Structure 1
Amino acid sequence: MSTVLPTGESGVRVLHGFVSRDGGLNLWAEDSVAAPVPIGARGVPWHPFAVPAAELPAGERREPALLTLPSTGAGPLPSPQVGLPLRRGVRRARVWRVPSVGVPFLDADLAAEFDGRVSPAVRWLIELCGFAASLVRRGRVLPGVRLDGPRPAAWWRPVLIGADAARHATLLDRMPPACRAETAAGAETRPARQGDTAPDVASAAELLTVALERLVDGLVRTRLAETGVTLADDGWLAALTGEPGFDAPHDELDELIRTLDAWFAQAARGSEVRVCFRLSDPREHEPVMPGDVPLPNDAWRLEFLLQAADEPSVLVPAAEIWRDEFAPLRRWTSHPQERLLAGLARAARLWPALGDALRGARPAEMILDTEGAHGFLSHAAVLEEAGCGVLLPAWWRRSSGLGLSLRVRTPAAIANVLKDRTTGLRDLVDYEWGLALGGRTLTEDDLADLAKAKVPLVKLRGRWVFLDADRLAAGLAFLSRGGGTMTAGEALRVTRLLPPEELPLPVTDARGEGWLADLLSGELDERLELLGPPAGLTGVLKPYQIRGLSWLAFMDSLGLGACLADDMGLGKTVQLLTLLLHRRDGPALLICPLSVLGNWQREAARFAPSLRVKVLHGADRTVDAGDADLVLTTYATAVLDADLLASIAWDRVVLDEAQHIKNSAGAASRAVRRFPARNRIALTGTPVENRLAELWSILDFVNPGLLASAHTFRARFAVPIERYQDEEAAARLRQATRPFLLRRTKADPGIAGDLPAKRHVRHLCGMTTEQVSLYQAVLDDLEERLSDWNQERHKGVVLAAMTKLKQVCVHPALLLKDASPLPGRSGKVDRLEEIVDRALGMGESVLVFTQFAKFGGMLAPHLTARFGVKAPFLHGGTPRGARDAMVAAFQEAEQPGVFVLSLKAGGTGLNLTAANHVVHVDRWWNPAAETQASDRAFRLGQRRDVHVHTLVCLGTLEERIDQLLVDKGVLAERVVGSGEGWLTALSTSELRDLFALAPEAIVD
Structure 2
Amino acid sequence: MAILHGNWVHQPPRAGFFLWAETWRQVPRRRKRDEQPAIHPYALDLAELLQHLSEQFPVLQLRTSKPASQTLVLPSTLENVLYSASPPPETGKVALEVWVVEGLWLDAPQAFELLLNVPLGSTDTSIGNDLRFWSQCARWVLDLMVRAKYLPSLEVHNGDGAVARWRPLLDSAGDQARLKDFAARLPDACRSATPEVAPVDLVRSFLEAVLDARVRALLSSEPPDPRTLPGGAVRPWLQALASPQPQLRACDAATVELSEILSSWEAPLRYQGRVRTGFVLEPPEGAERSWALNFKLRLGDDPAAPLLDAVQVWALPGDEQETFLAGLGLASRIFAPIERGLLVPQPERCTLSTPEAFQFLKAATWRLRESGFDVLLPDSLSEMGALRNRLGLKLEAVSGRNANVSPGLGMQSLLNFRWELSLGGQPISREQFERLAATAEPLVKVDSAWVELRPQDVRAARKFFETRQDQVGLSLEHVLRLGFGDAQTIAGLPIVNFDSSGPIQQLLETLTDQRKLKPIDEPPGFRGTLRPYQKLGVGWLSFLQQWGLGACLADDMGLGKTIEMIAMLLHLKARQELDGPVLLICPTSVMGNWEREVRKFAPELKVHVHHGARRPKGRNFVEMAARTNVVVSSYALVQRDSRDLKRVEWLGLVLDEAQNIKNPEAKQTQAIRELTARFRIALTGTPVENRLAELWSILDFLNPGYLGARNFFQRRFAVPIEKYGDRASANALRALVQPFILRRLKSDPQIIQDLPEKQETNVFCPLTAEQAALYERVVNESLTKIESSTGIQRRGAVLATLVKLKQVCNHPSHYLGDAEPLGERSGKLRRLEEMLEEVLADEERALIFTQFAEWGHLLQAHLSRQLGSEVFFLFGGTSKNQREAMIDRFQRDPQAPRIFILSLKAGGVGLNLTRANHVFHFDRWWNPAVENQATDRVFRIGQTKNVQVYKFVCTGTLEERISALIESKKALAEQVVSAGENWLSEMSTDQLRQLLVLDRSEIVDTDEGE
Q: Secondary structure at the match of 2:616?
A: coil
* Distance in 2 between residues matched to 1:340 and 1:90, nearest whole Å: 47
Q: 1:678 is matched with which residue?
A: 677
The correspondence of residues 99-498 of structure 1 with structure 2, limited to 5 A, is 124-125=141-142, 127-128=144-145, 130-131=147-148, 203-209=206-212, 254-267=252-265, 278-280=278-280, 302-304=293-295, 319=311, 328-329=317-318, 353=337, 357=341, 363-366=347-350, 374=358, 377=361, 380-381=364-365, 384=368, 391-393=375-377, 398-402=383-387, 406-407=395-396, 409=398, 412-413=401-402, 417-418=406-407, 428-431=414-417, 451=437, 456=442, 467=452, 469=454, 472-473=457-458, 476=461, 479-480=464-465, 481-483=467-469, 486=473, 488=475, 491=478, 495=482
Q: 1:521 to 1:507 in 2, by over 3 A?
A: farther
* Distance in 1 between residues matched to 2:932 and 2:336, nearest whole Å: 97
The structural deviation recorded for 1:402 is: 1.0
Q: 1:826 is matched with which residue?
A: 910
Matched to 1:614, the amino acid is H
Q: 796-805 or 205-214, which moves further after superposition?
A: 796-805
The answer to whether 1:522 aligns with 2:522 is no
Q: Secondary structure at the match of 2:385?
A: coil
* Distance in 2 between residues matched to 1:796 and 1:388, nearest whole Å: 50
Deviations 1:174-214 (A, max 9, x none): 999xxxxxxxxxxxxxxxxxxxxxxx999432333465678
The structural deviation recorded for 1:678 is: 2.8
Q: 1:516 to 1:41 in 2, by over 3 A?
A: closer
> 8 Å contact 1:590–1:656 — kept in the other structure?
yes
The correspondence of residues 935-950 of structure 1 with structure 2, limited to 5 A, is none
Matched to 2:119, the amino acid is P
Q: 440-449 or 206-215, which moves further after superposition?
A: 440-449
The answer to whether 1:799 aligns with 2:871 is yes
Q: Secondary structure at the match of 2:708?
A: coil
* Distance in 2 between residues matched to 1:349 and 1:718, nearest whole Å: 40
Residue 570 of structure 2: which of 572, 577, 593 is its match? 577
> 8 Å contact 1:128–1:171 — kept in the other structure?
no
Q: 1:57 is matched with which residue?
A: none
Q: Secondary structure at the match of 2:707?
A: coil
The structural deviation recorded for 1:878 is: 1.4
Residue 589 of structure 1: which of 583, 601, 604 is its match? 583
> 8 Å contact 1:853–1:875 — kept in the other structure?
yes
Q: Secondary structure at the match of 1:679?
A: strand
Q: 1:211 to 1:738 in 2, by over 3 A?
A: closer
The structural deviation recorded for 1:393 is: 4.3
* Distance in 1 between residues matched to 2:974 and 2:698, nearest whole Å: 36
Residue 119 of structure 2: which of 74, 78, 94 is its match? 78
Q: 2:777 is matched with which residue?
A: none
* Distance in 1 between residues matched to 2:257 and 2:657, nearest whole Å: 78
Q: 1:47 to 1:667 in 2, by over 3 A?
A: same
Matched to 1:850, the amino acid is V
Matched to 2:475, the amino acid is A
Q: 1:489 to 1:608 in 2, by over 3 A?
A: farther
The structural deviation recorded for 1:757 is: 6.1
> 8 Å contact 1:77–1:87 — kept in the other structure?
no
Matched pairs, number: 707
Matched to 2:585, the amino acid is I
> 8 Å contact 1:277–1:391 — kept in the other structure?
no
Deviations 1:192-237 (A, max 9, x none): xxxxxxxx99943233346567889999969x99xxx7757xx767
The structural deviation recorded for 1:354 is: 5.3
**Percent identity over paired residues:** 20
* Distance in 2 between residues matched to 1:284 and 1:239, nearest whole Å: 54
Residue 45 of structure 1: which of 42, 54, 58 is its match? 54
Q: 2:920 is matched with which residue?
A: 851
Q: 1:196 is matched with which residue?
A: none
Q: Secondary structure at the match of 1:700?
A: helix
The answer to whether 1:879 aligns with 2:955 is yes
Deviations 1:547-585 (A, max 9, x none): 988986776676554446686276431321342572466
The answer to whether 1:622 aligns with 2:606 is no
The structural deviation recorded for 1:673 is: 1.1
Q: 1:647 to 1:881 in 2, by over 3 A?
A: farther
Q: 1:649 is matched with which residue?
A: 648
The correspondence of residues 901-940 of structure 1 with structure 2, limited to 5 A, is none
Q: 1:255 to 1:394 in 2, by over 3 A?
A: same
Q: Secondary structure at the match of 2:608?
A: strand
Question: Gaps (5+ residues) in structure 1?
Answer: 1-20, 24-38, 53-62, 96-117, 136-140, 177-199, 286-294, 762-777, 783-791, 832-847, 868-872, 901-1004
* Distance in 2 between residues matched to 1:820 and 1:359, nearest whole Å: 95
Q: 490-499 or 580-589, which moves further after superposition?
A: 490-499
Deviations 1:85-114 (A, max 9, x none): 64344548999xxxxxxxxxxxxxxxxxxx
Matched to 1:857, the amino acid is W
Question: Gaps (5+ residues) in structure 2?
Answer: 1-12, 16-47, 62-106, 184-202, 760-852, 858-863, 891-899, 936-948, 977-1010
> 8 Å contact 2:581–2:631 — kept in the other structure?
no
Q: 2:83 is matched with which residue?
A: none
Q: 1:639 to 1:882 in 2, by over 3 A?
A: farther
The structural deviation recorded for 1:881 is: 7.5
Matched to 2:124, the amino acid is R
> 8 Å contact 1:659–1:684 — kept in the other structure?
yes
The structural deviation recorded for 1:702 is: 3.0
The answer to whether 1:703 aligns with 2:744 is no
The structural deviation recorded for 1:500 is: 7.8
Matched to 1:482, the amino acid is R
Residue 560 of structure 2: which of 565, 568, 571 is its match? 568
